Amino acid sequence: MSESWIAGINPVEGALSNDAERVRELLIENGQRNPRLQELIERARELKIPVQHRPREQLDKLAGAARHQGIVARYEAPPLATENDLAELLEQAGSDALVLVLDGVTDPHNLGACLRSAAAAGVTAVIVPKDRAVGLTPVARRASAGGADRVPLIAATNLARALRQLKDAGVWITGLAGDTDTSIYAIDFKGPVALVLGSEGEGMRRLTRDTCDFVAKIPMPGTMESLNVSVATGIALFEAIRQRSGGQRGGK
């Protein structure tokens, strides 16, 4: 277990709603009269979670780059899942397995937004490299709007090995890249599948790309050449959801 600080009204509310047993205390900025803060204070007291009032400067320091809105929570985060947990997650999901792989996302806002989309799509697990990628920082947790508490996040020590584990379990892997003629709308996302998106600047690493079964692009008829990774994640995940909900089938 490791302690971290969750900053902001919505992230703290999400933690109290989804994982209250891990919230150790709330710190409230002195003099705050925000009605939503009062609601969170009352909920914390009902849950027997200590509530302390502190100067704004202390909350600024604990929140780091995240906007705290007058509230931070000390949170005992569970350890991130590992490749060892992947087999059980895939077995539980069966043919409904939908995995998101983020190869080197370094911006915490992007990671948080991807986790939010993953939670909304009911993703089985999100896999990220343990190194050379952003972790679950307070900024990422805030940007996830509670998604970080609702989807398993696996920090893989060896991403290529984790991808091979997916393939051995019968998961079809599609990587997203701009330099291909294949559209994601031509890919069959029914059954157990994984979607791989690369870093904000460089995209997927070569070894990651070579491990994919398919490489596809999001068609963009406009003048922009690329999308933000979190936007691309949302589009790709919900194309998979559309197909799996009875939309027109692609082809493998």
DSSP 3-state of 150: coil
Residue 125 to residues 86, 90, 181, 240: CA-CA distances in angstroms? 8, 9, 28, 15
In the Cβ-directed half-sphere of 220, how many Cα atoms lie within 13 Å?
17
Coarse DSSP helix, strand, coil percentages of the chain, rounded to the nearest 5 percent: 40, 25, 35
Known binding-site residue numbers for S-adenosyl-L-methionine: 198, 218, 227
Q: Which tokens sit at 158?
A: 């060896």
Please tell me the distance from the alpha carbon of residue 96 to that of residue 81, in angstroms, as a whole number. Answer: 20
Phi and psi of 17, rounded to 5°? Answer: -80, -35
CB distance 12 to 24 below 8 Å: no
Short-list 192, 171, 188, 194, CA closest to 242: 188
What's the angle, vertex CA 136, arms to CA 130 and CA 137, rounded to 5? 125
Please tell me the distance from the alpha carbon of residue 195 to that of residue 40, in angstroms, as a whole number. Answer: 37
Please tell me the distance from the alpha carbon of residue 79 to that of residue 136, in angstroms, as a whole number. Answer: 11
158 phi-psi bin (left φ>0, alpha ψ -120 to 50, beta other): beta
CB distance 198 to 205 below 8 Å: yes
Known binding-site residue numbers: 198, 218, 227
